[in-house]
Structure 1
Amino acid sequence: MGHMRVSCCAIVVLFLQLARAFYVPGYSIKSYADDESIPLFVNKVFSDNTQIQHAYSELPFVCNPSGRPRPGTGLISGSNVALNLGEVLRGDRIMVSGYELAMGKDEEARYLCSQTIDRAALRNAIKIVKNGYVAEWIVDNLPGATSFVSVDKERKYYAAGFKMGYEDVSLDTGLPRYFLNNHVTIVIRHRRAPGKDGEHGRRVIVGFEVYAKSIEAENRDSSGLPTNLHNVRTGLELTMKQNSTNATTMDRNEEQAPIPDEFNFSDDGATLTIPYTYSVYFREDESIEWSNRWDLYFVNQDDSSKIHWLAIINSIIISGLLTIVVAVIFTRTIRGDIKGYKDGLEDGKLRPLKLGKIRSPRRSGEKGGLLEKVDSEMADDANSDDEIPEDITGWKLVHGDVFRQPAHGKLLAPLVGSGMQLVFMAVGLVALSCLGILNPSFRGGFVSVGMALFLIAGLCSGYFSARIYKTFGGSQWKHNAVVTATLFPGLLFATTFVLNLFVWAQASSTAIPLSTLIALVALWLLVQIPLVYAGSWYGFVRGGAYSHPIKANVIPRQIPQQAWHGRKVQAILLAGLVPFAVIFIELLFVFRSVFQDKSGYYYVFGFLAVISTILILAVMETTVIAVYIQLCSENYHWWWQSFFLGGASSIWIFAYCIYYYFYHLHITGYVSTGLFFAYSFLACVVYGLLTGTIGFLAAYAFVRRIYGAIKVD
């Protein structure tokens, strides 16, 4: 009871943390009065060229927090914002910035600070600019965006973030030069607030745009502002030859040469002063509803709706063909076989067919049902006329072995249990996303809610694992419960911890803090294990083993040589192609959203839900067809094979990840490359475990159904 109380308390704490960031579109509206302070938060910098992210506030060349309070907000510049679990895991590090914004108050030019950096900070700044990093700021839960116009110039859309700088090539030397964006123009789009707030003149924010510019350090007035903000001749080049109080101590050749790629400098005390300024403009925009203010971030996904429908049509066609094949197997082949047996039974005998010398049949101990009678007749006829009944071929020959316990079945049970846990989590996430509860403004919500669903699903994991474990003859259900609660989470945690060491070495915000790692271990010990234990007890004691219509014979039957397409590896690869073809087109959008789009969000969950449903059907039908073909080849080792057949498409997805890396991404660096492939592999393992479980359960139900229909008590 004590453990259960601790588990309940841990779950309550987790959900309270989720509730802090909970958001419902059209309900959680923040409105502002004129001249009311609007806090601007800085988050992180990220790039398409690397998997390493950095906290914006920790960059050595940006302005330090001012420490000034924000009136009316209760916030102080430089204070950190509490994050939920999902935000921490995705690398968010949100801090109140020193930028001061007031509703409706324009600022043509305002000085922020001047940051003096040494050579080490200069190397860091060049690395950030060279790798194409963009910064993410937040106002009213909207990420700062760069505005673009579609190709037909009819629609406007946003790309989250703004560039930290740009690279140019020197006309004199032909070598690269790097410029830092040290001025930002902030555009806040607003409209009248709905309801009573609007009647009192309050406004809501419907757009947050940031336009970055690089302005030289010279030609500034006494307040640090550039003399001409709109006609900038040169940008702020990241080199010590400009604006350095110690430039006279530098070697002349070093003064003229740009910084090489290896950034191999000696620390001679030289510095570079970077002035930061900003402009703020408020623009009324009644064309954007507050509830639709995120739509501009997803114009590209909306424009590709025709391709989404093409993906759905393609998936429906493939699934329809599979359904027809399965229907034929059930209605014509299997049902015809069963009908033939029953007709033969009514005649009092089975029609024999001359087949010559057959393989030695085996006798079992206690038998029952029609197939056992047939097996006995086969044995008698084999000793005399070398005849077997006409319809005793294919899958019917292995009736005495099809429910034989598989090798390493006590490992298969925890895998299936973990797969059911993932199925529960995935279905919950897709359903909540389709309902709009999980949306982009619920920052980190997808991961946080997914973690909560995964923990709760420990009950399902323990239940199914225990029942299958008992079906395979296991008796130590407590040991099985521990293995189930440890196998997949342990693999996931161990891999993440090792990868985290490399990310820590890069001083990246993606590195999971030690406190978060301890919290995850606590959730595993106090929530996951007790729930799996409870589910295992109920499944083993109350649920019991699954019943089989036919008992397994004592002596295993010899399996004939299989055709090339029926061998394990070939069958798995061929079976995996079909589900992969179902999701291939939609996979393009998911990959582009995760790895290429600056928004980093996948928004069209309605299409994903349809594709996921068709995918599940395709996995089930493909596995059933493949297992039926295998049984017809007199191969009764279908337990593990059905699991691998269901998860086979994960192999093709990982192969597509490799293709996508080389032909679509521009990731550089060994650490970033290792992170990409490691996390891609983990994602494919999760997907394979999920679909493998679905395939196993579909095949299990299919086998029990066909052999249960044959059995006669």
Structure 2
Amino acid sequence: MYPKYLAKLLFTSFLVFFVRCDEHNHIYEDGEEVVLWMNTVGPYHNRQETYEYYSLPFCRGPKETISHYHETLGEALLGVELEFSGLALEYKADMTKTEYCGIDLSEEKYQAFIYAVKSHYWYQMYIDDLPIWGIVGEIDEGGDGHYIWTHKKFDIGTNGKMIVDVNLTSEVKVKLSAGIKIPFTYEVKWHDSKIKFADRFDKYLDPNFFQHRIHWFSIFNSFMMVIFLVGLVSMILMRTLRKDYARYSKEEDLDDMEKDLGDEYGWKQVHGDVFRPASHPMLFSALIGTGYHIAIVATCVITFAIIGELYTERGSLLSTAIFVYAATAPVNGYCGGSLYARMGGKVWIKQMVMSAFMLPTFVCGTAFFINFIAIYYHASRAIPFGTMVAVTCICIFVILPLTLVGTVLGRNLSGQPNYPCRINAVPRPIPEKKWFMEPSVIVVLGGVLPFGSIFIEMYFIFTSFWAYKIYYVYGFMLLVFVILAIVTTCVTIVCTYFLLNAEDYRWQWTSFLAAASTSGYVYLYSFYYFFFKTKMYGLFQTAFYFGYMALFSVGLGIMCGTFGYFGTSKFVRKIYSTVKID
């Protein structure tokens, strides 16, 4: 009957063993209890700076108990602080204007409300998982009087036995003054609506913003970049390699004296060193394993978001990401462990632990540092101790064992080196080359085109996370994700070919870092966005923004670096397996 709703319901049941599902089934009988949750309050221009609703001296309604309560891991990590409002709402039961509480405005409470009004504080509530926003108060035109809204009027639309629309109107302004008593009232109006339950979240989306012409144009532009780069790699590189193959084939007919006298140069000369293990193989294999892991998680979560419309459920996207990351931990162990074994690594347990805990340690370390600042500011973003314990247990008792399983399988199934060329006992000296052929220069320039392919999408993602927009165009994100993978691979292959032609066989780290440098440009762009596109201020908001942008950039960099290494390794193996080398 409701295909989108059924898809979300099935997907929610898929997550049932990992998170506690909502006891509410969104179906009501006439007169049944409807819960109004109060969530957070905070300044409008600092969206991520939120506090508990009752951190302001608001008063609660007279009702003390409710039939259910729920909170998922994703909600806890996102700082969702649901508290019962104490207001009695019954399904399809209209309620006239009713006073539910009053507060005596002491000097302390007066100053708290004055600060909230000056800072343009907004608050958020939920009815049947539908968000509602309201403003605390306003300043009069002269700037002298500060007013607070004291009446909440709820207009709720229903379709059958389901709530499909909620609107809040703030009415009755009361001028703030120390010593007065302020009554708070509410009323509820119910009406039938033609909105389908599956479409009830559409009113919160902004198609004019996300489906603007510039968004479509950026996708088209990136797609044309992919065609150009793939054509460039196919045409220029393959033509160049064909000439190299022809030259090297002629050399097979020459005797040793003529070979020694010949003018040998290019990528063939490093065939005895090109498959030499990368420096710091343990760290390198752990990064590659983590990169494969992130890529799989990103693909799965984006796909689930498209199918299940995860943006309509509080914290479901984050809960899904954590679940998928834990469930796919064997990918990390398999890819990282097998690569480490092929590089001749012996301390595989240490490598496995590093691979399993590298990203979680960085994420948790950054999050806990920000958490201390949030606790100092008494912000709702402070992660509860129980949630920290839950995340730690997931890492130790789920991710680590699954990574161990993947590592054992990887070492036994794909751990044997099968290079097409023998590795020389003594490393070949690397000749001097022009400055633009140095690995450091290649690394810096390697991320320019990949960043260009995702630049516009970064703006939309940043705006949805740091401003009042809900990101829902995950089809765009999936397409940009594929484009990023292709562009990164093509650019890294080109860079590696030039590096090998300069007889520099240090391609493993160079290919990884050249692709990973995309994240450096993303992080630099985040500075521009912070100072020119937002109105954020304060230590907490600054630390929160740049801390989590660092996490995003590092994750993106590891994933892009893995794309670059994967494509380059296939390319290197292909060209050296085609040429006959004694």
TM-score (norm. length: structure 2): 0.92
| Aligned residues: CA RMSD | 2.4
Counterpart Cα distance in 1 of 2:145 and 2:218: 44
Which residue is 1:20 aligned to? 21
In the TM superposition, what is the alpha-carbon distance from 1:477 to its structure 2 partner?
1.1
User: Is 1:438–1:446's contact at 8 Å kept on the other side of the alignment?
Assistant: no
**Which string of whole-angstrom CA distances, capped at 9 and with x for unpartnered residues, describes residues 283-304 of structure 1?**
3332x22211111111345762
**Equivalent of 1:184, from 128, 141, 152?**
152
Counterpart Cα distance in 2 of 1:86 and 1:127: 31
Which residue is 1:708 aligned to? 577
Kindly report which structure 2 residues correspond to 1:499-514, keeping only aligned pairs within 5 A, or say none. 499-514=370-385
Which residue is 1:360 aligned to? none
Which residue is 1:207 aligned to? 165
- Going from structure 1 to structure 2, the CA distance change for 1:488 and 1:176 (only over 3 Å counts) comes to farther
Query: Are residue 37 (structure 1) and residue 63 (structure 2) matched?
Result: no
Query: Are residue 417 (structure 1) and residue 322 (structure 2) matched?
Result: no
Counterpart Cα distance in 1 of 2:576 and 2:181: 81
Counterpart Cα distance in 2 of 1:14 and 1:515: 20
Which deviates more, 295-304 or 397-406? 295-304
**Which string of whole-angstrom CA distances, capped at 9 and with x for unpartnered residues, describes residues 23-72 of structure 1?**
xxxxx96343444432211112244433321121x3241113534445xx
Which residue is 2:135 aligned to? 163
Counterpart Cα distance in 1 of 2:171 and 2:417: 68
In the TM superposition, what is the alpha-carbon distance from 1:169 to its structure 2 partner?
5.3
Query: Are residue 277 (structure 1) and residue 182 (structure 2) matched?
Result: no
Aligned residues: 569
Kindly report which structure 2 residues correspond to 1:486-497, keeping only aligned pairs within 5 A, or say none. 486-497=357-368
In the TM superposition, what is the alpha-carbon distance from 1:555 to its structure 2 partner?
2.7
**Equivalent of 1:308, from 202, 212, 215?**
215
User: Is 2:155–2:168's contact at 8 Å kept on the other side of the alignment?
Assistant: yes
Counterpart Cα distance in 2 of 1:301 and 1:546: 53
In the TM superposition, what is the alpha-carbon distance from 1:586 to its structure 2 partner?
1.6
Which structure is larger by alpha-carbon Rg, 1 or 2? 1
Query: Are residue 53 (structure 1) and residue 50 (structure 2) matched?
Result: yes
Unaligned runs of 5+ in 2: 1-12
User: Is 2:451–2:521's contact at 8 Å kept on the other side of the alignment?
Assistant: yes
Which residue is 1:297 aligned to? 204
SS of 1:32's partner is: coil
Q: Which amino acid aligns with 1:189?
A: G
SS of 1:205's partner is: strand
Kindly report which structure 2 residues correspond to 1:65-464, keeping only aligned pairs within 5 A, or say none. 65-69=61-65, 74-75=67-68, 81-144=69-132, 161-168=133-140, 170=142, 177-191=145-159, 193=160, 203-216=161-174, 236-237=175-176, 239-240=177-178, 244=179, 272-286=180-194, 288-301=195-208, 304-342=211-249, 345=252, 348-349=253-254, 377=256, 382=260, 387-389=261-263, 392-435=264-307, 437-464=308-335
Unaligned runs of 5+ in 1: 1-11, 23-27, 76-80, 145-160, 194-202, 217-235, 245-271, 351-376
Counterpart Cα distance in 2 of 1:18 and 1:329: 52
In the TM superposition, what is the alpha-carbon distance from 1:625 to its structure 2 partner?
1.0
Counterpart Cα distance in 2 of 1:176 and 1:342: 88
- Going from structure 1 to structure 2, the CA distance change for 1:19 and 1:308 (only over 3 Å counts) comes to farther
Counterpart Cα distance in 2 of 1:470 and 1:275: 71
**Which string of whole-angstrom CA distances, capped at 9 and with x for unpartnered residues, describes residues 424-472 of structure 1?**
111110111121x242232211111111111122111111111111122
Counterpart Cα distance in 2 of 1:19 and 1:497: 24
Counterpart Cα distance in 2 of 1:13 and 1:188: 31
**Which string of whole-angstrom CA distances, capped at 9 and with x for unpartnered residues, describes residues 63-117 of structure 1?**
13534445xxx25xxxxx3211111111111122222223333334211100234
**Which string of whole-angstrom CA distances, capped at 9 and with x for unpartnered residues, describes residues 184-207 of structure 1?**
22111223x2xxxxxxxxx42221
User: Is 2:289–2:333's contact at 8 Å kept on the other side of the alignment?
Assistant: yes
SS of 1:52's partner is: coil
Which has more helix, going by share of residues? 2
Counterpart Cα distance in 1 of 2:526 and 2:292: 25
User: Is 2:421–2:581's contact at 8 Å kept on the other side of the alignment?
Assistant: no
**Equivalent of 2:460, from 580, 589, 592?**
589
- Going from structure 1 to structure 2, the CA distance change for 1:29 and 1:69 (only over 3 Å counts) comes to closer
Counterpart Cα distance in 2 of 1:17 and 1:533: 21
**Which string of whole-angstrom CA distances, capped at 9 and with x for unpartnered residues, describes residues 160-190 of structure 1?**
x2222223454xxxx5653322222211122
In the TM superposition, what is the alpha-carbon distance from 1:343 to its structure 2 partner?
5.2
SS of 2:294's partner is: helix
Query: Are residue 64 (structure 1) and residue 60 (structure 2) matched?
Result: yes
In the TM superposition, what is the alpha-carbon distance from 1:214 to its structure 2 partner?
4.8
Which residue is 1:687 aligned to? 556
User: Is 2:154–2:187's contact at 8 Å kept on the other side of the alignment?
Assistant: yes
**Equivalent of 1:520, from 391, 403, 406?**
391
Counterpart Cα distance in 2 of 1:118 and 1:335: 85
TM-score (norm. length: structure 1): 0.76
SS of 1:449's partner is: helix
SS of 1:135's partner is: strand
Counterpart Cα distance in 2 of 1:93 and 1:516: 13
In the TM superposition, what is the alpha-carbon distance from 1:344 to its structure 2 partner?
5.0
User: Is 1:468–1:545's contact at 8 Å kept on the other side of the alignment?
Assistant: no
In the TM superposition, what is the alpha-carbon distance from 1:482 to its structure 2 partner?
1.3
Query: Are residue 472 (structure 1) and residue 343 (structure 2) matched?
Result: yes
Which deviates more, 535-544 or 102-111? 102-111
- Going from structure 1 to structure 2, the CA distance change for 1:611 and 1:303 (only over 3 Å counts) comes to closer
- Going from structure 1 to structure 2, the CA distance change for 1:673 and 1:214 (only over 3 Å counts) comes to farther
**Which string of whole-angstrom CA distances, capped at 9 and with x for unpartnered residues, describes residues 366-405 of structure 1?**
xxxxxxxxxxx47x754xxxx225xx42222222221122
In the TM superposition, what is the alpha-carbon distance from 1:632 to its structure 2 partner?
1.4
Counterpart Cα distance in 2 of 1:468 and 1:692: 15
Counterpart Cα distance in 2 of 1:591 and 1:214: 36
Which residue is 1:264 aligned to? none
SS of 2:312's partner is: coil
The runs of 4+ residues in structure 1 deviating greater than 6 Å are none
Which residue is 2:515 aligned to? 646
User: Is 2:62–2:100's contact at 8 Å kept on the other side of the alignment?
Assistant: no
Kindly report which structure 2 residues correspond to 1:602-641, keeping only aligned pairs within 5 A, or say none. 602-641=471-510
In the TM superposition, what is the alpha-carbon distance from 1:558 to its structure 2 partner?
2.6
Counterpart Cα distance in 1 of 2:395 and 2:14: 14
SS of 1:440's partner is: helix
Q: Which amino acid aligns with 1:43?
A: N
**Which string of whole-angstrom CA distances, capped at 9 and with x for unpartnered residues, describes residues 613-666 of structure 1?**
111111111111111111112221111111111111111111111000011101
Which residue is 1:253 aligned to? none
Q: Which amino acid aligns with 2:262?
A: I
Counterpart Cα distance in 1 of 2:210 and 2:458: 17
